[in-house]
Chain A
Amino acid sequence: MAVLLTKKTRLVVQGITGHQGQFHTRSMLDFGTKVVAGVTPGKGGTKVEGVHVFDSVDEAVARKRANASIIFVPAPFAKDAVIEAIEGGIKLVVVITERIPFHDTLEFVPYARTKGVTVIGPNCPGIITPGESKAGIMPNHIFRPGDVGVISRSGTLTYEIVNVMTQAGFGQSTCIGIGGDPIIGTNTVEALALFQKDRKTRKIVVVGEIGGTAEEEAAEFIHKHVTKPVVAYVAGRTAPPGKRMGHAGAIIQAGKGTAESKVKAFNDTGVPVADYPVDIAKLLAAA
């Protein structure tokens, strides 16, 4: 068992004919993902990397029994794409698209919840279960199957840390890039709950960053509900207040969302926090 995504997952790529969609379809196929269909309105009947393209998610579900979707469509059309996936019967929607206005996310994320649909992202690298499947844009070669679950708000920083883990012999059960926006479909606490339940996962890595209170809430949840060892890293210890550090969600406002507060919350609940990304391996070894 893995979290959310397995080799049985049947993926449809929304926005498959774009440059990004096409490139990552190839990469996901190489990783072993069952990419069963693509959707680009008006391009139905064509093929991308050998994958059938349809005009709508409805058709992709009817013809190819897709049950998960990955979204590459540009920000102005992302809400439409997510709602189409939900209404089409898709149960897992991974939104890669960045720069989606959060007032759109404020609509499609709660809507997905009322329909029992899991949304990952937006503005995220996706989700990957090494040895089984990838619905994302991560580089394939740094991942190894294993028993450590990874939860991260970042993209390339996740790769950095996964690379450290793999080199030190810590493979991954599933790695969820939850996204760097202020409003996201699956938050750190929800991802922790999934890994706590997952029998394949024995340890958990949380990669957090400044802004919001996700890490503080995670620490509280770990204290109450997580029995597996958790180790963490928090980016943005030197970030000045009031400046948005690239991610829309990464900002210290009115003294809230600081790295110190997050590190303290983790430490108070017995979760060690790495000073350097490379130290994650040592912490995992000791956990």
Chain B
Amino acid sequence: MKFLEYKAKSIFARYGIPVPHGVVVARPEEIRDPPLPCMVKAQVLIGGRGKAGGIKPAETMDEAREVSRQVLGMDIEGYKVKQVYLEERLDIERELYLGFTIDRSAREPLLMASASGGMEIESLSHEQIFMEHVPALVGLQPYVLRMLEKFLGLQGHVAEQVTDITKKAYDLFRKEDAELVEINPLVITRAGKVVAGDAKLVVDDNAEYRHLEYAKLDQDRTPLEEEAHEKGITFIQLDGDIGVIANGAGLTMSTLDVLNLKGGKGGTFLDLGGTDDPDKVAQAFEILLKANPSVILLNIFGGITKADTVALGVKKALEEMHADVPVVARIKGVNEDQAKEIFRDIGMYPAETMEEAAELAVKVKKGGA
């Protein structure tokens, strides 16, 4: 789950991390009492909005409305700006970087910091980044904070504030089941106050049950992906035109790859999972049909999956949706002969292997089979 800046900042504030004052609006008319002078910031789930013109200053109320009108509705790398955040302008002395993420290889949380804030962390050299593992079992220890202060060259009251923010950010990282907590820049003002200039937060989807308040957040899903998500179906829309449905994430990815090598292009990633319940299969197929594929490529390798009931689900969906999209099906599992029988009855194209199925799907699309 990704969070818009204003939402992330409200959560940061809940953990005691200082954030600038701000108001969020969806329409310029909603602007009543903005902090002035302010920055008008596009709220989108993607980085690089500054470069794209999504962050602009405003001095007066009228200007704030005018700038908001320009930014709202903007398209930033495919993301439409639906809200702007009008935020108190900071008197910046220095900008730092602070973040917590996970190191898969070490299997531990990782604290990252840099004296060169405001830039993409990926663009910094190794020597510019402070990195220290924080074992989840023992938590953030004081020695790490001492090393951090030294690395960043901080002293006195500013060092105290940065240390305090680091502790709170770690607390948030763990308690909110975050994949990423990033403050970039972490601003030191001329008055010596340390404030989160930006806020990035990504929370583990698998932890949704512990944070039900986040379930309704707007994610970067297409309407069809949203519908699938609500039905518990793993579905991603892609650029191509061939609807790919398989069981298991690895096999679905592999089916898309094989299709590509055979000259086709997948338009969907639909992981059916372990189900062979005809109703659930039908539900998944309905989503697939709504994506308007030219051909459907079904690839099931089920040791224990009942192939015939999967076939019945496919049949049901095609009939209910009155769809005449050709379907190429490769299905391994219990009762696979009965499944092939059902597929033939409804005019589907059976295949023995996934390579053969992919080739056939491309041929069918071109009208050659």
Contacts and interface: CB of A to CB of B under 8 A. Distances in A.
Interface residues of B, number: 49
Interface string A75-99: 1100000000000000000000001
Interface of B is mostly: mixed
Given A210-B253, A214-B104, A275-B261, A157 B248 contact: yes
Given A154-B248, A157-B254, A245-B249, A100 B206 contact: yes
Given A110-B108, A156-B247, A157-B251, A277 B354 contact: yes
Interface stretch (A42-50, A195-203, A230-238): A230-238
Nearest to B178: A103
Interface string B184-228: 000000000000000000001111011000000000000000000
B188 to A, nearest CB: 26
B301 A106 contact: no
B301 A156 contact: yes
A106 B109 contact: yes
B22 to A, nearest CB: 27
Contacts of B246: 156
B355 A250 contact: no
Contact of A236 (B137, B238, B257): B257
B105 A245 contact: no
A155 B102 contact: no
Given A157-B254, A247-B250, A254-B122, A111 B137 contact: yes
A243 interface: yes
Interface stretch (A6-14, A54-62, A158-166): A158-166
A250 B303 contact: no
Interface in B254-298: 254, 256-261, 266, 269, 271
B102 A106 contact: yes
A276 to B, nearest CB: 5
B136 A107 contact: yes
B108 A106 contact: yes
Contacts of A27: 304
A180 interface: yes
Contact of A246 (B253, B257, B355): B253
A194 interface: no
A250 B254 CA distance: 12
A245 B236 contact: yes
A9 to B, nearest CB: 21
21 contacts: A101-B177, A102-B179, A106-B136, A140-B303, A154-B248, A155-B250, A157-B251, A160-B354, A212-B105, A213-B105, A235-B251, A235-B253, A237-B257, A238-B253, A245-B236, A245-B253, A245-B269, A246-B248, A254-B122, A255-B122, A277-B254
Interface of B: 102, 104-105, 107-109, 122, 135-137, 174, 177, 179, 204-207, 209-210, 234, 236, 238-239, 246-254, 256-261, 266, 269, 271, 301-304, 332, 353-355
Interface of A: 23, 27, 75-76, 99-103, 105-107, 109-111, 138-142, 152-160, 163, 180, 182-184, 187, 207, 209-210, 212-214, 217, 233, 235-240, 243-250, 254-255, 275-278
Q: Which 8 A-B pairs have the closest CB atoms?
A: A139-B303, A154-B250, A246-B249, A156-B248, A157-B250, A101-B207, A106-B136, A156-B251
